[in-house]
Amino acid sequence: MPTKFDLVVIGAGPAGEGAAMRAAKAGLETAMVDEKAMVGGNCAHLGTIPSKALRHAVKQIITFNTDALFRDIGEPRTFSFPKVLKRAESVIAKQVKLRTTFYSRNEIKLYHGQARFTDSNTLEVVKSDGSIETLIADKFVIATGSRPYRPDDVDFSHRQIYDSDTVLKLQHTPRKIVIYGAGVIGCEYASIFCGLGVRVELINTRDRLLDFLDYEISDSLSYHLRDIGVLIRNGEEYEDVIGRESDVVVKLKSGKIVRGDTFLWCNGRTGNTDLLNLDAIGLLANHRGQLEVNDRYQTVASHVYAAGDVIGWPSLASAAYDQGRSTGAGVAGLEDFYLVEDVPTGIYTLPEISSLGKTEQELTQERVPYEVGQAAFKTVARAQITGETVGVLKILFHRETLQILGIHCFGDQASEIIHIGQAIMNQPGEANSIEYFVNTTFNYPTMAEAYRVAALNGLYRVSSY
């Protein structure tokens, strides 16, 4: 017998969770369907949480091995990749436990299995034992996320060839790893493996790393990765990936041959829509498995919404959660719906990168009269105390109005530091001014003080400050 709901959400990651919670709190009878046996989605189980927990553990190892203070208690030590992964597993368990209570508290019915539409208002949930639950709903939210894109000519069944999901099952520490794809995920894993003492070759299909960033920040990342031992090959594409008994050989179209005992594919992602039987509701995903939505997160089927990675940009857990909450508000007919824009970028390399707003290249191209204020971390007392002196905070502002146009940070805690500037940048009218950082007293010593240093640096260029 089918079970009737006001709303069925497909996918228990950040977007789906946000939509389900918002709708349930508004009084809608809500169900959640997810293929995994536990909630949290790919964010908790395969992406954001495990990789960032892994990164944090590696950062601690680097600190121990490079800080002279610790030499009194022993020599530098090596840690295996599987051992470091244990840290990630403990965090995942905590996240699942926490998020499970959210569904219980809000009386959201959970269904675990593969979802597939049979008609415009009916969804079947195929469970692991083969049994089927049938759900009927007035509205649906598709928040199924994404997975690594896998080209047909790469043998991912080979024991030494991984993608960014399966690498979390790696049971040894490689001597040398070849990472193909130098986007956000590729750069993050290059940092992680290099921090474990693994030789890393990073193959970038573009001419520069993370070319959507401000060029100075991108250059800083390139310099730092090379400085810690990563070999970066820009402007290269693979011709063949050959898995052998003891290594993997990557033949590049340029004629180069790269070898490593492990190969990690980090080039592109695909929306998880192929098993939903979208034809039954009149939807068609694009070539990347993504769905198009309007400014209300509705698909062409007006009773079906979509949010998170499955709609593409910006493909960030933070944005996905907000998109989900906004979608839930829209489904429930609430007035606090909003379109998620101006999202800060958080990249968890070692050190971190975070940015918001315009880059220098964009402002130059748009002929906006701007100026730059900078604070090198090596001049900030808190950074000197912690020893994290690699990095810079960069503020771009209008020369005449002093309005903040962009904030870019490279260094330890960049993804935290950016939010101070974000709060001021989002203020209306004259309240959005770089002068705020000069006229406000910051705790000392703190990393927040970098805003004052950067503001003074910029204002000296345009006035008599």
Mean pLDDT check: name the lowest of 10-19, 62-71, 340-349, 404-413: 62-71
Q: Which two tokens stand for residue 271?
A: 């929306």
Which tens digit of pLDDT belongs to each residue from 170-228? 988 999 999 999 999 999 999 999 999 999 999 999 999 999 999 999 999 999 999 99
Q: How many CB atoms within 10 Å of residue 357?
A: 19
Task: Look up the pTM and report it.
Answer: 0.92
Residues in CB range of 97: below 8 A, 6 or more apart: none
CA 324/CA 15 separation, integer angstroms: 4
Res. 10 pLDDT band, cuts 50 70 90? very high
Domain 351-460 classification at class level: alpha beta
Residue with tokens 């992602």: 269
Confidence (pLDDT) at 63 = 75
Burial class (CB in 10 A: 0-12, 13-18, 19+), 385: exposed
Q: What local confidence, expressed as pLDDT, does residue 326 receive?
A: 94
User: What pLDDT was estimated at residue 72?
Assistant: 67
CATH code of the region 161-267: 3.50.50.60
pLDDT in tens, 77-118: 667 788 878 777 888 889 989 999 999 999 999 999 999 999
Q: Does domain 3-148+270-331 have CATH number 3.90.1150.10?
A: no
pLDDT digits (tens, 9 = 90+) for 222-274: 999 999 999 999 999 999 999 999 999 999 999 999 999 999 999 999 999 99
Q: Are 58 and 173 in contact (CB under 8 A)?
A: no
Report the percentage of the chain scoring pLDDT > 70. Answer: 96
Phi, psi (rounded to 5 degrees) for 122: -125, 135
User: 112-142 burial, b for 16+ CB within 10 Å, e for fewer?
Assistant: bbbbbbeeebbbbbeeeeeeebebebebbbb
Beta strands, E only, 143-254 = 146-148, 161-163, 176-180, 199-203, 231-233, 238-243, 248-252
Say yes or no: do domains 3-148+270-331 and 161-267 share a fold.
yes
Q: What is the mean pLDDT of residues 335-343?
A: 84
Q: Is 286 exposed, middle or buried (0-12, 13-18, 19+ CB in 10 A)?
A: exposed
pLDDT of residue 339: 82
Tens-place pLDDT, residues 349-389? 999 999 999 999 999 999 999 999 999 999 999 999 998 99
Residue 430 pLDDT class (50, 70, 90 cuts): confident
Give the model's confidence band at 337: pLDDT under 50 very low, under 70 low, under 90 confident, else very high.
confident
Strands across the sheet containing 161-163 = 161-163, 262-265, 176-180, 199-203, 231-233
Amino acid identity at 209: L
Q: Residue 464's pLDDT is what?
A: 57
Separation CA 293–CA 302 (nearest Å):
10
What is the chain's length? Answer: 465
In single-letter form, the type of residue at position 142 comes to I
The mean of the pLDDT values for the chain is: 92
Q: For residue 344, is pLDDT > 90?
A: yes
DSSP symbol at 300: S
pLDDT(465) > 60: no
pLDDT computed for residue 69 by the predictor: 66
CB 445 within 8 A of CB 395: no
- In this prediction, residues 129-152 reach a mean pLDDT of 95
Q: What local confidence, expressed as pLDDT, does residue 76 receive?
A: 60
**pLDDT reported for residue 75:** 63
Closest CA to 14 of 314, 298, 269, 355: 314
Contact 379, 440 (CB under 8 A): no
Q: Which of 3-12, 28-37, 39-48, 135-144 has the lowest mean pLDDT?
A: 39-48
Q: What share of the chain is helix, strand, coil (3-state, %, to 5)?
A: 35, 25, 40
Mean pLDDT value of segment 419-448: 93
pLDDT higher than 60, residue 151: yes
- State how far Cα 167 lies from the chain centre: 17
Cα(first)–Cα(last) distance of the chain, in Å? 74
- Whether the Cβ atoms of residue 297 and residue 330 lie closer than 8 Å to each other: yes
CA 275 to chain centre: 24
Domain ranges within the chain, ordered by starting residue: 3-148+270-331, 161-267, 351-460
pLDDT of residue 74: 63
- pLDDT, one tens digit per residue, over 56-77 is 888 887 777 766 666 666 666 6
What one-character-per-residue DSSP string does 166-186 give?
GGGG--S--SEEEEE--SHHH
The span from the CA of 170 to the CA of 147, in Å, is 18
Does position 315 have pLDDT exceeding 60, yes or no? yes
What would the mean pLDDT of 340-346 be, rounded to a whole number? 89
Q: How far apart are alpha carbons 83 and 72 in whole angstroms?
A: 24
Q: How far is CA 465 from CA 209, 372, 450, 456, in A?
A: 36, 15, 17, 7
Mean pLDDT, residues 122-146 taken together: 95
For the beta sheet containing 345-347, the strands, ordered from the edge strand earlier in sequence to the opposite edge, are 345-347, 353-357, 404-411, 391-398, 370-376
